[in-house]
Amino acid sequence: MSYLEKLLEGVDLEWKRLEDITIFSNGKGHEKAITNNGQFIVVNSKFISTAGKVVKYTNLQICPLIVDDVLIVMSDLPNGKALAKTFLIDENEKYTLNQRIGSITIKNKSTLLPTFFNYYLNRTPQLLKFDNGIDQTNLRKKQILDVKIPIPALSIQKEIVSILDTFTELITELTTELKTELKARIQQYSYYREQLFSFEEGEVKWKSLSEIGELVRGSGLPKTDFTETGIPAIHYGQVYTYYGTYTSETISFVSPETAKKLKKVNCGDVIITNTSENLEDVGKSVVYLGKEQAVTGGHATIFKPSKSITGKYFAYYTQTSHFSKLKRKYSKGTKVIDVSAKDMAKIIIPIPPLEEQNRIVSILDEFDRFTTSLSEGLPKEIELRKKQYEYYRNMILSFPKQESE
């Protein structure tokens, strides 16, 4: 018998719909009231998905919350990780609820512990079937209230919560240690990257991008053009939100008809962002290494390197402080920052022999894998700890009766 089976031996287990045991309410929009500092924390999807690490504030408590309310993310981007994530409120006066976040209040806490309810709801899979991965995913009130949950005796709920609290604390400590080490490695990576691109005067030739390759400005490609399959496509926003230094696969596709109207990206080409709300994300780049020709659209420029430079060498160079200073020189705009393809072509970079470029790339590839790869290095370890936690949490919450779909 499993631990849970032993715990429930001889005990009646009741399943109830959330509609019968909770009160549900939606948050309200705070867009005009959000600030970097304020009296109240605005609970949005980022706040919940990062367990309170990403915070926005307001001085208006538009939608107050009650202690022990369980909050749930109602909307997320395609393939996002926030949909149906939950958060348990611990203070009355600290928070205000943003739109597309639902608040669930337990009617009778003498039969259902909020901590148990939060643990169970955060692992329940029924709601994730509504994540279709194409358009923005949205949950509806009815979908949430239709969920059935087990309600064992209060003593059993307390024991399960105690075990999960202990395990959560242990995994958090392990993950924190790994993240601290990862932060140190990233700083080390940044230091060596700067050193590798620090050439003495006269040591290498310096050339503008227009001299060492072709720059092609993209156009079109709204997200509504995406399809589940088809021609590989890279949207400019994905360059600074999803991709790393290089990729051989894309997360988005377009139809062959749409692809005909877009700029083509070949293996070894570099896609550079021209536009963003901040300067840091302008000039971000990703090298496309896919075998199949891809496409990109507006707010992006394709750098097609000549034989004197490799795409990876250039992409790594765009991560240096020197490149950052140059793009700042050519940037235009305040709320929306843009560096045009014409100005991008003026940026001058060092061009060592190809043998030296490959040596630099080889070193930085190792650092990149160790600090960003989910298949090896520290990010893999962090992901494994997360999966380990989810496995044991789900196992101890796997009650004998399956939830209705």
3-state secondary structure of 246: strand
**pLDDT (0 to 100) of residue 405:** 41
> Are the C-beta atoms of residues 99 and 141 closer than 8 Å to each other?
no
Q: Give pLDDT < 70 ranges for the chain.
A: 1, 78-80, 124-126, 128-136, 374, 401-405
3-state secondary structure of 142: helix
Q: Does domain 205-351 have CATH number 3.40.920.10?
A: no
Q: Which two tokens stand for residue 59?
A: 């001085």
For 331, residues 6+ apart whose C-beta sits below 8 A from its C-beta are 279, 282, 337, 338, 339
Question: One-letter amino acid identity for 156?
Answer: I
**pLDDT (0 to 100) of residue 399:** 87
**Beta strands per DSSP E along 124-258:** 137-138, 148-151, 205-208, 213-217, 226-227, 231-234, 246-247, 252-254
Rounded Cα distance between 224 and 361, Å, is 36
Q: How many other C-beta atoms are found inside a 10 Å radius of the C-beta of residue 283?
A: 26
Q: How many other C-beta atoms are found inside a 10 Å radius of the C-beta of residue 28?
A: 12
Rounded Cα distance between 29 and 56, Å, is 13
Which fold, 11-152?
Answer: Adenine-n6-DNA-methyltransferase TaqI; Chain A, domain 2 (3.90.220)
Beta bridge partners of 348: 208
Each residue of 75-98: b (16+ CB within 10 Å) or e?
A: bbebebebbbbbbbbeeeeebbbb
**pLDDT (0 to 100) of residue 50:** 85
CA distances from 202 to 197, 255, 350, 354, 403 (A): 14, 49, 10, 17, 70
* CA-based nearest residue to 127, from 108, 109, 104: 104
**pLDDT (0 to 100) of residue 91:** 79
Question: One-letter amino acid identity for 67?
Answer: V
| 98 secondary structure, DSSP code | B
Q: What's the pLDDT tens digit per position in 275-285?
A: 998 899 999 99
**pLDDT (0 to 100) of residue 151:** 93
**pLDDT (0 to 100) of residue 199:** 92
* CA-based nearest residue to 87, from 121, 54, 40, 124: 121
**pLDDT (0 to 100) of residue 115:** 95
CA distances from 396 to 282, 320, 400 (A): 46, 47, 11
**Nearest-5° angle of CA 79, CA 315, CA 186?**
70
**pLDDT (0 to 100) of residue 130:** 62
The domain limits of the chain are 11-152, 153-203+352-405, 205-351
Would the CATH topology of 11-152 be identical to that of 205-351? yes
- Residue by residue, DSSP assigns 307-357 as TTS-HHHHHHHTTSHHHHHHHHHH-B-SSSEE--HHHHTT-EEEE--HHHH
Rounded Cα distance between 106 and 114, Å, is 7
* CA-based nearest residue to 267, from 245, 293, 238: 293
| 39 secondary structure, DSSP code | S
Q: How many other C-beta atoms are found inside a 10 Å radius of the C-beta of residue 129?
A: 9
* CA-based nearest residue to 101, from 76, 123, 119: 76
Name the packing angle between helices 114-123 and 154-196 (round to 10°). 60
| 199 secondary structure, DSSP code | P
> Can you tell me which residue has the tokens 């999966």?
387
| 290 secondary structure, DSSP code | -
Radius of gyration of the chain (CA): 25
